[in-house]
């Protein structure tokens, strides 16, 4: 089977950790900063970091239009934490000048689980990822408040730090938060799988890129 080339958007955030995890999961992983480097990959990871900073750097490095085009053409993309925010069609509690790629029809609340001191870990069952629940690390993490009809919810979590309850989530109790979604070739999680040593989610994305 062909080894997919998967880029990690290397403007800010957990770039090295994602490259290492993707490599261990069987991909030809490499950092991507320029449009020419994007042209050479079969899929892209948008890492965790600071979403407003990533948004600004995407424009500085002239990556917005190339990434928008590749997403429209069906390139698989996985966004973790800040990457989830960058893939959302709507962001709550973000900056007015913050712009993402609007690939997944969802509303995401930025820093929903609290500040850095509110970081936590919790088990999350991921649809399509076999085995025990994924031990997920949440750091200044977003959650998903609304999904469109084409979006599959593949992971939710209960608990976490004490936060204000805002609305309900897709027919479930308000305390059950959406933290992992998929829409076609686009995948997003609120948490950081690159920090756990559990390669199953990266392997899932590598296979998605291989078969896209």
The one catalytic residue in 17, 18, 145, 194 is: 194
Please state, in angstroms and rounded to a whole number, the distance separating the CA atoms of residues 142 and 161. Answer: 13
Whole-angstrom distance, CA of residue 22 vs CA of residue 6: 8
Q: SS3 for 120-169, per residue?
A: EEEEECCCCCCCCCEEEEECCCCEEEEECCCCEEEEEECCCCCCCCCCCE
Question: In the annotation, is 37 catalytic?
Answer: no
Residue of 81, 121, 164, 202 with catalytic role: 81
Active site annotation includes 152: no
Query: Exactly one of 18, 145, 192, 202 is catalytic; which is it?
Result: 192
- Strand, coil or helix: 180: strand
Please name the residue that has the structure tokens 């962001």.
91
CA distance 95 to 150: 27
Are 163 and 114 within 8 A, CB to CB? yes
50: annotated active-site residue: no
Output the DSSP codes for 62-74: T-HHHHHHHHHTT
Region class of 52: left (phi > 0), else alpha (psi between -120 and 50), else beta = alpha
Q: Which residues are catalytic?
A: 81, 192, 194
């Amino acid at each position: 089977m062909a080894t997919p080339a998967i880029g990690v958007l290397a403007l800010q955030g957990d770039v090295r950790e994602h490259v290492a995890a993707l490599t261990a999961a069987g991909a030809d992983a490499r950092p991507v900063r320029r449009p020419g480097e994007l042209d050479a990959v079969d899929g892209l990871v948008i890492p965790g970091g600071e979403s407003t900073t990533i948004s600004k750097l995407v424009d500085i490095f002239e990556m917005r239009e190339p990434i928008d085009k590749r997403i429209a053409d069906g390139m698989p993309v996985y966004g973790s934490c800040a990457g989830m925010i960058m893939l959302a069609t709507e962001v709550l509690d973000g900056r007015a000048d913050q712009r993402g790629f609007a690939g997944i029809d969802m509303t995401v609340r930025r820093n929903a689980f609290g500040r850095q001191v509110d970081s936590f870990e919790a088990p999350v069952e991921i649809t399509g990822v076999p085995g025990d629940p994924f031990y997920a690390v949440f750091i200044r993490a977003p959650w998903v408040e609304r999904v469109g009809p084409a979006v599959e919810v593949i992971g939710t979590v209960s608990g976490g730090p004490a936060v204000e309850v805002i609305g309900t989530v897709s027919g479930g109790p308000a305390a059950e938060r959406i933290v992992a979604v998929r829409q076609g070739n686009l995948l997003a999680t609120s948490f950081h799988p690159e920090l756990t040593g559990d390669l199953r989610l990266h392997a899932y994305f590598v296979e998605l890129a291989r078969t896209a």
